[in-house]
Homo-oligomer: A and B are copies of this chain.
Amino acid sequence: MKHKDFDHINCSLAQTLSVIGEHWTLLIIRDVFMGLRRFGELQKDLGIAKNILSERLKRLVAEQILEKEKGESGFYEYRLTEKGLALQPILLACVHWGDNYRPSANGARVVFVDRKDYLPIQAMSVRSHDGRLLNPKDIRAKRGPGFSSDNSDTPLQSWTTAD
């Protein structure tokens, strides 16, 4: 039958995944973050089929994550919107986890540095309102005002119930 669509699930995670959770999508976005702009560049770099790339880009433009414009070169260029740029923490968190837990033999493949001083940025971390570093089990999830406002509901107890 038809695959279930995450889109209807009233859950911010599912919502996010419905946009960037498709295969290839996050890799495309990464490439645009990396400075690739043109269809051909992306296609060549990723080794993705053109029709797939075309579909994904169309979707991302529709979602206002990318903008398509004619660049100075006269070719079409894809650029990240503010909404797209806001995905950066997700990407960085993924890269960081990958570097830690599925490392290359020789160490980190990429290092992100502050443009100003060229010093590495902090690892993505969870912090309390006053800046303390929090461990996974230090936080709880509470239902917000938007919880279960539409039909579908997601149960919500505690975020990391440490037994």
Contact = CB atoms under 8 A, between A and B. Distances in A.
Interface of A: 3-4, 6, 10-19, 21, 23, 26-27, 30, 33-36, 45, 47-48, 80, 83, 85-122, 124-129, 131-132, 134, 136-150, 154-161
Nearest to A90: B93
A160 B33 contact: yes
Contacts of A85: 136-137, 160
Contacts of A15: 98, 102
Contacts of A104: 10, 146-147, 149-150
Contact of A156 (B86, B110, B160): B110
A21 B154 CA distance: 21
B110 A119 contact: no
Copies in the complex: 2
Contact of A111 (B100, B128, B142): B142
Nearest to A19: B102
Contact of A13 (B30, B88, B107): B30
A15 B26 CA distance: 12
B34 A157 contact: yes
Nearest to A14: B27
A17 B12 contact: no
A10 B127 contact: no
A40 to B, nearest CB: 13
A37 B13 CA distance: 19
A57 B118 CA distance: 41
